[in-house]
Amino acid sequence: MAGRRGFLQNIASMPVIGSLVPASLAVAAPTRRDFYKELGVGTFINAAGTYTTLTASLMWPEVVQAIEYASKSFVRLTDLHDAVGKRIAELLECEAAMVSSGAAAALTCGTAACVAGTNPEFIRRLPDIAGMKNEVIVQKTHRYGYDHAVRNVGIKFVEVEGEAELERAINEKTAMMLFFNASDKTPVSAERFIAIAKKHKIPTMNDAAADAPPTGVLKDLTKLGFDMVIFSGGKGIRGPQSAGLLLGRKDLIEAARLNTSPYSDSVGRGLKVNKEELLGMMVAVETFVKRDEKAEWKEWERRCKQIIDSVSSVKGVNTEVKVPQISNRVPHIHITWDEAKIKIKPKDVVKALREGTPAIEVTPSPADRVVVAVWMLQPNEAEIVAKRIREVLKSAS
């Protein structure tokens, strides 16, 4: 009762004085509102995976608790950024870490670190890159949509094919070398890419946004020698959807921090991370690394079996479980059928599932199949998915 907070809590709880508090300042007890229903925004069973437009993943309950905790006190934002970064770096055994507002934001902040560094004039001037190192080397096969977040810094991409061309492209204007972890074509391997960069003292950045799980990858890529490694916080790690991780060299993470919020005059000021996301992301990493990976995998196999057993009971249906090699390394059920026997096209099955009750979203896939990912399903949903796909196929056979 000694503290001011105790005092305020006390008077608020006293009925007489409490009633003097204007209604607009009184904290109403939360009621259970069904917001999505109120707004007419449909929910669905996620048999698709961690797609951004489908809101990716559901946060761990521990993360939601941390967000709630964070929302109740003021802290100095940079203190919390420092402390959370330090904790994540310890957990993931890398030199330094920062929470970004998503993997794409980490691409921008990390690039700015290589271009403007800690130079106050350069930081203010971005994306005007005159007089700075402003070229980013990338393998031609590693160009992708998300590299827009690198171009936001004002840099110019220099595309290369093969080791010899890569080495020739390095010059005094080279700011960074970008690597896309999930690319299906990587003529210059990660190891060779790192070796060449180190020889010429050029910082490397690896975008591995969607590549966790497995857990190990969070440590492996910095240990392999990439100077900066990026993960999305809201995909498989199940943190806040607008959070991400930039892991790596201390000097670069420090520079990345100076090129973003809370520093007003920086290229990354729009990429703010709030206290709730900072703590939420930290707890997501803690929860993710200590979860039982084997038990999780077994549960996914159980769900696969349940769905496969159900849909295979329709004559003419074939199923196969595939695990992608790099990104989204989790079981996906590929369902195909003999269209002479079952007269419906895969896209119409997708539509029927989407428009059914409950609505179900499946993985975007080639036109000849329906692909189901089981890792984002909630308890008892595998059963519903199994039943609905069977119903739709059966009704066309």
Distance CA 279, CA 64 (A): 10
Q: Please, is 206 exposed, middle or buried when counting C-beta atoms within 10 Å of its C-beta (0-12, 13-18, 19+)?
A: buried
Q: Is 109 in the site for ligand PLP (CB under 6 A)?
A: no
CB 206 within 8 A of CB 230: yes
**Segment lying near ligand PLP (by CB under 6 A), choices 31-39, 67-75, 99-107, 308-316:** 99-107
Q: Is 376 in the site for ligand PLP (CB under 6 A)?
A: no
Q: Is 52 in the site for ligand PLP (CB under 6 A)?
A: yes
**Segment lying near ligand PLP (by CB under 6 A), choices 2-10, 206-214, 331-339, 348-356:** 206-214
147: tokens are 């590299």
Candidate list 69, 91, 125, 146; residue touching ligand PLP; CB under 6 A: 146
C-alpha of 135 from chain center = 26
Residue 310 vs 363, nearer CB to ligand PLP = 363
**Segment lying near ligand PLP (by CB under 6 A), choices 62-70, 100-108, 162-170, 335-343:** 100-108
Minimal distance in Å, beta carbon 21 to ligand PLP? 41
Minimal distance in Å, beta carbon 235 to ligand PLP? 6
CB 302 within 8 A of CB 333: no
Candidate list 126, 209, 333, 360; residue touching ligand PLP; CB under 6 A: 209
HEC secondary structure over 156-212? EEEEECCHHHHHHHCCCCEEEEEEECCCCCCCCCHHHHHHHHHHCCCCEEEECCCCC
Query: Strand pairing partners for 325?
Result: none
Q: Is 103 in the site for ligand PLP (CB under 6 A)?
A: yes
Q: Is 244 in the site for ligand PLP (CB under 6 A)?
A: yes
Q: Is 207 in the site for ligand PLP (CB under 6 A)?
A: yes
Residue 134 vs 206, nearer CB to ligand PLP = 206
Residue type, 227: D
Residue 148 vs 345, nearer CB to ligand PLP = 148
Minimal distance in Å, beta carbon 269 to ligand PLP? 17
Cα dihedral 314, 317, 322, 328 sign = negative
The DSSP secondary structure of 283-314, one letter per residue, reads HHHHHHHHS-HHHHHHHHHHHHHHHHHHHHTS
Phi first, then psi: what are they for 122, rounded to 5°? -65, -45
Query: Strand pairing partners for 139?
Result: 160
Candidate list 102, 117, 268, 346; residue touching ligand PLP; CB under 6 A: 102
Q: Is 104 in the site for ligand PLP (CB under 6 A)?
A: yes
Query: Strand pairing partners for 360?
Result: 45
Which residues would be at the binding site for ligand PLP (CB under 6 A)?
A: 52, 102-104, 146, 182, 207, 209-210, 232, 234, 244
